[in-house]
Amino acid sequence: MPPTETPLRELTAGIASEQVAPAGITAVAAAAAMGTALCEMCCIHTIEAQRATRTLEDLGEPVDQSDCDPTHASDHSLEAVRSRLETQRETLLTLADRDAALVSELFAGEAAPSAETRRQAARIPLAVIEAAVEVLADAPLAIERGRPGVAADARTGALLVEAGLRASAATVRSNLEGDDTDAATELLDRLAAAERRAAAVDLDGIG
């Protein structure tokens, strides 16, 4: 059964076992997907609150706006963010499953992995990083415009995603250490570009 279809208690027991997989990047990608889901949840709750507010206004009912300011953002902007977050959540879950399968295939034997094997293993965490960067690009809008009751959840989610990015970057560098091939250089260039984008997001200054 793929890791993402495994009950959480069973999945964590499988990680904490003698099996080679699921391992680090499967755990990281799954955690980043959960973080993404928190940002997505913030958008969904805020959109629904805004719709409810406008419905009451249309009916001429008094509106308590203490938990939702309809001027914060349109449904359409948050809906676009929500849609992108959903896409990245699914991407991260797919990568979690792919990593478990790849680790089982490449590292189950006794022999030390070759440089090519390690390059293959670096590609999935790099893809996790690139998905995480897309989430972090949208997270500030969810945090800034989200309802007060769920904006904190979006911040928590963004921090989970950021941690996943950093852990994945460490894995990429570990797998490519000492590899001076053009293929490794290309992967490291992609990593550097993704990290530059992520560095432009100031989560501490939001909210």
65-117 confidence digits (pLDDT tens): 444 443 334 444 899 999 999 999 999 999 999 999 998 888 777 677 888 88
Answer yes or no: is 120 within a domain.
Answer: yes
Query: Residue 109 belongs to what domain range?
Result: 7-201
The residues near 119 (Cβ < 8 Å, ≥ 6 apart) are 175, 176, 179, 181, 183, 184, 187
Output the pLDDT for position 113. Answer: 81
Give the span between the Cα atoms of 36 and 207, in whole angstroms.
18
Instruction: Say which DSSP state 60 is in.
Output: T
Answer yes or no: is 2 within a domain.
Answer: no
| Count of structural domains, the chain | 1
Instruction: Check which CATH number belongs to the domain holding 187 and give it.
Output: 1.20.120.680
pLDDT at 207 over 70: no
Task: Report the SS3 class of residue 73.
Answer: coil
Answer yes or no: is 206 within a domain.
Answer: no
Answer yes or no: is 28 within a domain.
Answer: yes
Render pLDDT for 158-185 as a digit per residue (tens, 0 to 9).
Answer: 999 999 999 999 999 999 999 999 999 9
Answer yes or no: is 96 within a domain.
Answer: yes
Answer yes or no: is 134 within a domain.
Answer: yes
Answer yes or no: is 74 within a domain.
Answer: yes
Render pLDDT for 9-27 as a digit per residue (tens, 0 to 9).
Answer: 999 999 999 888 889 999 9
Answer yes or no: is 207 within a domain.
Answer: no
